[in-house]
Structure 1
Amino acid sequence: MTRDDLSELLAEQTQACGPAREALLSGGTFGVWSGLVPTNQLFRTYRTRIRIAQKRGRATLGLTETVGLLERTEDELLRIGWIDTTDRAWAFTLFLNAKATTVLACAGVALSLHEMS
């Protein structure tokens, strides 16, 4: 998947999608894994990540919203993508359909203890 392809898939699915798209278009690193993961596994993993981020005082974008979307999604297999900002301050996780033609949700976690600008 190219940078342009991925940027076209990022709309307003969650509040993190806009900043993720900006990070991508600003030269951030990105990728999409080829494997598929069941949504129920992703739901449990990312529900735990909310607690970890809160405990560590990390700012998040769209993480709670994404977990809600994963919880409501039936037993689908999803592909996971990522975008890191050029300054490595934020990491975004993307949840795409199995064919990687649609972004269902996007979540961001600050890698440093600063707020998103």
Structure 2
Amino acid sequence: MTRDDLIAMLGEQTPACGPARNALIAGADFVVWNGPKRRHPSASREEPLRTGSIDAVDKSSWFTIFLNSMVTAVVACCGGRRATTMEWADTSESGA
């Protein structure tokens, strides 16, 4: 799968798909695993899914992608911004 293929497949399936697409356009690293196929927990059908990940160039965001078993469509995407070291320390100290 090429970067352009994945960019084209990332629509508005979930709120995270747009930011994931933007990360790819900006040069993010990505991988789609060939390993065991998994079924997305919220999927209503029994089709096995392939998974992958997208990691922003500046490592500030990450995304998990779920594709159909033939790797021809993105079914869902989740992810978001990684906490910075300072954000992590603030959260740890506050007990949140």
TM class, shorter-chain normalised? 0.7 to 0.9
What displacement does 1:37 show?
A: 2.4
CA RMSD of aligned residues (A): 1.5
Q: Which has the larger radius of gyration?
A: 2
Runs of 4+ in 1 over 3 A off after TM superposition: none
User: TM-score if structure 1 supplies the norm length?
Assistant: 0.67
Under a length normalisation based on structure 2, what TM-score does the superposition of the two structures give?
A: 0.80
Cα-to-partner distance string for 1:6-63 (whole Å, 9 max, x where unaligned)? 1000000001100000000101000100124231xx42xxxxxxxxxxxxxxxxxxxx
Larger relative helix fraction: 1
Which structure would you say has the larger RCO, counting Cα contacts within 8 Å and 6 or more residues apart? 1
Structure 1 residue ranges without an equivalent (≥5): 44-70
Give the conservation status (yes or no) of the 8 Å contact 2:38–2:51: no
Query: Is the counterpart of residue 23 in structure 1 residue 23 in structure 2?
Result: yes
The percent of aligned pairs where both chains have the same amino acid is: 47
Is the CA contact 1:38–1:75 (under 8 Å) kept in the aligned structure 2?
A: no
Please say if residues 33 and 79 of structure 1, whose CA atoms lie closer than 8 Å, have aligned partners that are also in contact: yes
Q: Deviations over 1:60-83 (max 9, x none)?
A: xxxxxxxxxxx2422221000111
Q: 1:89 Cα deviation (Å)?
A: 1.0
The equivalences for 1:47-62 within 5 A come to none
Number of aligned residue pairs: give it: 85
